[in-house]
Amino acid sequence: MKVILLGTGTSTGIPEVGCGCPACHSDDPRDRRLRTSALVITDSGRRILIDCGPDFHEQAVALRLDRIDAILLTHEHYDHTFGLDDVRTIAWRQELPIYGQERVLESVHTRMHYAFGPNPYPGTPRLVLRPIGEGADAPFDLFGETITPIFLDHGSLPIVGYRIGGLTYITDMKAISPEEWAKVEGTQLLVINALRYQRPHPSHQSVLDVQELLSHLPHRPQLTLLTHLSHHAPLHHQLLSLLPSDLQPGYDGQCITITDGHVQETPLEPYEEPFVYRDLGRIAYAEAWELQRDLFAAQLEAKHEGRPTESYLLFCEHNPVFTMGKHADSANVLMSPDFLREQGYDFYEVERGGDVTYHGPGQLTGYPILDLERFHLGLKAYIELLEQSVIELLRFIFRIEAGLKDGATGVWLDVGDPARERKICAIGVKSSRFVTMHGFALNVNNDLSPFQLINPCGFKQGKVASIAQEVGHEVDLTVVKHMLVSILHRRLHERLAPRY
């Protein structure tokens, strides 16, 4: 399990607006504190967010966070819940459960009523509110982990902390009963709030209060980190000198790993981009083909010499052109190549798989130049990834239900209905030593009549479709490009070795 402290500051953060104190003007980045939140990555790789405050956007962008699997809320205050709207960009593809006390979830429902209505607009987060129980019903299973709520008081407000395996996370606490505090026993890592060093506060505890609580545990945690610190607390380096080695101030971006009962601070690995993206615009097929071959050859040379490979995703539109794969049947070209050239079409025989297809303006053609070994992918799984990415785009952005056809690559509509079955995206790939070139062609706004001059992809009287045809109007190709790049980026990044 890994725990990343996304924010360790109190409700006003540090620096505080309009303040000239030493903490707010410290040069130590550990003294700059966003509002309190943490990300837990379980052994199975599931990502559980604890609280989602108004700084979530900044925290998530800094971490390059592209997925959350669940959210645990400690209470309903602004600094712990007012970032929930910012999860919508990563929570519209699948349901995102949010756990908390019923009172807390009711406040979320009221404030974000637009996310729970009968007719949500496209892009609305798919939030599912799940109340936690009390007493014997309080612990619950989440992705194979037992989540134990710990009930405590934030002044006069009842709130919760959470025990997840070797981690206990408590924030905004003023008081806790001995029975609830006993749930912390056996924790390896305790993250707990301390507003300032000793001056009392009506709803938060101090550092000295934390030290007193720890003295009542038969076995202290291996490491206790302080969070929800205000600018009135000593500076980070001062706290380090005041406290024992097993009690330290946490800081934003701190990552702690819990392995086999041992707790260790570990650095976050640098973010690794899955590919370099290039939008080539409208380009002649021969020019894009030459660029592909150059990039492809460079990656093969790098692999041969044992150097790291690079990955690219090229998007473009082509001038009208027909291309034939290396195993294509010439009978599927219903007019002679010379006739097609006389009519203004280019014609090429290329090294990709698949049969004959057409490319033209308004069609989005994608050429991923990837080292599949870097993504732990075989060729079949890679083609499935391309297909599922297009299916996701069509379903969630354009409300077009698409699927796969047995014995054929690409993405299809109304599969199984001979009268209506039609292809919307063709796929043809070349691979050598697990490096790919060529790719896919998605019909967006393009004229479909040139497909009548061929048996598309070898299917006699094969029907084709486009996004514009299905939705009844031309669509913004820039939006299609950006959304599909985002989907491919997420899916390929997930295939890289885990960052955390």
Kindly list the catalytic residues.
457
The count of other CB atoms within 10 Å of the CB of residue 415 is 17
CB 137 within 8 A of CB 148: no
Comparing C-alpha atoms, which of 60, 62, 53 is closest to residue 81?
Answer: 53
- Residues 263, 166: Cα–Cα separation, whole Å: 9
The count of other CB atoms within 10 Å of the CB of residue 228 is 27
| Tokens found for residue 25 | 């003007």
- Residues 399, 192: Cα–Cα separation, whole Å: 45
Q: Is 42 helix (H, G, I), strand (E, B) or coil?
A: coil
- Residues 114, 373: Cα–Cα separation, whole Å: 43
300-306: long-range pairs with CB below 8 Å, 24+: 300/432, 300/433, 300/435, 303/371, 303/433, 303/435
Comparing C-alpha atoms, which of 368, 353, 350, 371 is closest to residue 301?
Answer: 371
Any residues with CB less than 8 A from the CB of 294 and at least 6 apart, and which?
Answer: none
What Rg value do the Cα atoms of the chain yield, rounded? 28
